[in-house]
Amino acid sequence: MTKSDPISRRPGRWTAFAVTAVTAASAVTIALPAPSALADPATPTPTPVAPAVPAAPPATPVPAPPATPVPAPPATPVPAPPVDPNAPPVPAPPPVDPNAPVPPPLDPNAPPAPPTPPALEPGRIPNTAGGFSYLLPAGWVVSDASRLNYGQALLSKQIAPAESGQPAPTASDASVILGRLDLKLFAGAEQDNSKAAVRLGSDMGEFFMPFAGVRINQQSGALQAGDMPGYFSSYEVKFTDTTKPNGQIWAGVVGTSVPNAPRDQRNQRWFVVWLGTAKDPIDPAAAKALAESIRPYTPPPPPEPPPADPNAPVPPPPAAGGRIPLGVPVPVETPVPGMTPGQ
């Protein structure tokens, strides 16, 4: 019996695979159509343009770091001058006196110090005796008031400039008197300023112009000196003697009368009396401005006296009989006791 060859049976399977592959290739060839020469050319697809990218802003310049300052070389110290061996030694401070009196402690109940008065404005003249200040009119000078019967200030009209250090010459027929309206004048008893001004002008006219005549051109009106009310009265005198020029007077009163106030505050009023003639007439505007420039004035307190010298010698006690020994200095008192009027 003949055996079959196992290899001879395999070719049938490989043959089947080959036929299947050929058949599949033919099917692909039939399915794909042949390219045609008359076909339209393909439309090119437009390529999208990328949007422009905005340019970047210029970079901010970065400041360069500050340069480190180079330290200056240290200054060469100036050598101190050599000590003079022959110079006298510096005296030592005096020793503290153990017996010196101890300053008294501050009294907590002591009244406060009075306030310092404000400084006067430029051109304002204080009058300590009368307790007021005023503004000097242009062309007038302050004169000696020691011979006045009434008032504490006297003004004179300057008629020429001063020369060679001498006082300026002044007019003899014009003057101004200012002062406190106290009870030395009859007008001081009038509490109403309008009545006081009329009385003051009448009395002063008779005092300075004691001649027969007639009063003419009489005028009056109100004044306001800061917060102080006032009043003025003026007139002329036509003298019977025609050789005399007409006399003129302007009297003003400012302030307030308080009868029930303390004595030093009872009559806070001041007056102005301006005298003139027809040849040297009164300036009513200047007179009013002078009266309205008056302000109360309080002088600053005097400086405190220096402390007593603890090393001053103690005066010896008086000898028997109340007399001081011969050769011992005696302090002088002013005024001298026993020589004051009324003692």
Provide the pLDDT for residue 45: 54
Least trusted range by pLDDT, from 13-17, 116-120, 178-182, 206-210: 13-17
Q: How far is CA 222 from CA 75, 200, 202, 234, 263, in A?
A: 78, 15, 17, 12, 27
Provide the pLDDT for residue 36: 45
Q: Distance (Å, rounded) from C-alpha 44 to C-alpha 76?
A: 91
Which residues, at least 6 apart from 185, have a Cβ–Cβ distance to it below 8 Å? 150, 200, 203, 271
Asked whether the predicted pLDDT for residue 243 surpasses 50, the reply is yes
pLDDT tens string 81-94:
777 778 777 777 77
DSSP 258: -
The residue ranking higher by pLDDT, 101 or 152, is 152
Least trusted range by pLDDT, from 54-63, 193-202, 264-273: 54-63
Helix (H, G, I), strand (E, B) or coil at 250: strand
Provide the pLDDT for residue 34: 47
Provide the pLDDT for residue 196: 94
Show me where the domains of the chain are located: 124-157+170-296
Report the CATH architecture of 124-157+170-296.
3-Layer(aba) Sandwich (3.40)
* Phi, psi for 224 (deg, rounded to 5): -145, 105
For every residue of 186-249, which 3-state class applies, written as one string? Answer: HHHHCCCHHHHHHHHHHHHHHHHCCCCEEEEEEEEEEEEECCEEEEEEEEEEEECCCCCCCEEE
